[in-house]
Amino acid sequence: MGEEVFLTREGMEKLEAELQHLKSVRRKEVADRIKEAREYGDIVENSEYDDAKNEQAFVEGRIKDLEKLLRNVQIIEEEGDTGNNEVKIGSTVELKDLESGEKFTYTLVGSAEADPSENKISNESPVGSAILGRKAGEKVEVEVPAGIIEYEIINILKKNKA
């Protein structure tokens, strides 16, 4: 049995859609490229054929990785008004850098769904692991390459269900 993979329902749906696309569209596109490259003749020195075979290996590897991830998914339920104000996977958290005063808002997700450009940080990241299980008002220290950063958990936000 593999290691549990934590995903939101949205994250799981994105991975399922990618898997479906790879299986139904990309596999056929790559097979067509391989067939076309073979028609050029000798495959020993055929760069088109080599590129297509490399792409096929990448697509098949990604399919295998996604299937493994999806077999081990643990869905993160959206937070309701449970009164539990503890940071957990799926929580959206407001943090304040105690040195600079700068504020940040992050959603804590599993590593397979982490995307810093969307302010989604992994529960395994330095910040994510430091705030996991903590409550609003608590201060945490995060070890980073440049030293230690101290944050205060300002608020744990509830997601509004659409």
* pLDDT of amino acid 162: 38
Instruction: Name the residue ranges covered by the structural domains of the chain.
Output: 5-75, 80-157
pLDDT at 147 over 70: yes
**Fold match between domain 5-75 and domain 80-157:** no
pLDDT, one tens digit per residue, over 81-138 is 444 578 988 899 999 999 999 999 999 998 888 998 999 999 999 999 999 999 999 9
Distance CA 20, CA 151 (A): 41
Question: At 158, is the pLDDT very low, low, confident or very high (cuts 50, 70, 90)?
Answer: low
Residues 6+ apart with CB under 8 A from 156: 85, 86, 87, 91, 92, 93, 94, 135, 136
61 closest CA partner among 5, 111, 19, 7: 19
Looking at the DSSP assignment, which residues form a beta bridge with residue 73? Answer: 5
Distance CA 111, CA 133 (A): 17
Report DSSP letters for 36-72, one per residue. Answer: HHHTTS-STT-HHHHHHHHHHHHHHHHHHHHHHHHHT
131 closest CA partner among 150, 113, 153: 153
Distance CA 121, CA 118 (A): 9
* pLDDT of amino acid 81: 45
Q: What is the mean pLDDT of residues 18-35?
A: 95
* pLDDT of amino acid 82: 46
> Of the CATH numbers 1.10.10.60, 3.40.50.300, 1.10.287.130, 1.10.287.180, which one belongs to the domain with range 5-75?
1.10.287.180
Question: At 15, is the pLDDT very low, low, confident or very high (cuts 50, 70, 90)?
Answer: very high
Over the chain, what is the mean pLDDT?
87
Residue scoring higher pLDDT (152 or 39): 152
Burial class (CB in 10 A: 0-12, 13-18, 19+), 141: exposed
Question: At 5, is the pLDDT very low, low, confident or very high (cuts 50, 70, 90)?
Answer: confident
Q: Identify the CATH number of the domain defined by range 80-157.
A: 3.10.50.30
Overall pTM > 0.85 = no
Report DSSP letters for 2-30, one per residue. Answer: ---EEEEHHHHHHHHHHHHHIIIIIHHHH
